[in-house]
Structure 1
Amino acid sequence: MRRKKVTLAWISNDSARRASLKKRRLGLMKKMSELTTLCGSKACLIIYSLDESELMAWSSR
């Protein structure tokens, strides 16, 4: 059984949009961590959000 295709649309509810961004950001960081561990390579991830004043950066050690 496969997943439904996700439709890309603007989330009008501010709190739901922030929660979705937070979940996706954590998922993306986890995937980057797994990839660098499995492949033995180095990587850097920079995420910028208009709602937040700071950049979120992740880099492999």
Structure 2
Amino acid sequence: MHQVNIDRDILDRQAKKGWGAKVIEQLAHDLRTAFPNMKEFSRTNQMYMHAFAEAWPDAEIVQ
């Protein structure tokens, strides 16, 4: 099974594109389009994932 690390993806995209690229907004839109019945991919939740990934960058200690 492929593990998805949205939090790490957010940090990587922001590092490459910069804050002005609206990475979180675009990712939230793309995920809501792909998974319309899931509410976990809102912009707010993306911001929480981003903050979590920054606070705990070692993926080995998180689920």
TM-score (norm 2): 0.33
TM-score (norm 1): 0.34
| Structure number having the greater helix percentage | 2
| Structure number having the greater strand percentage | 1
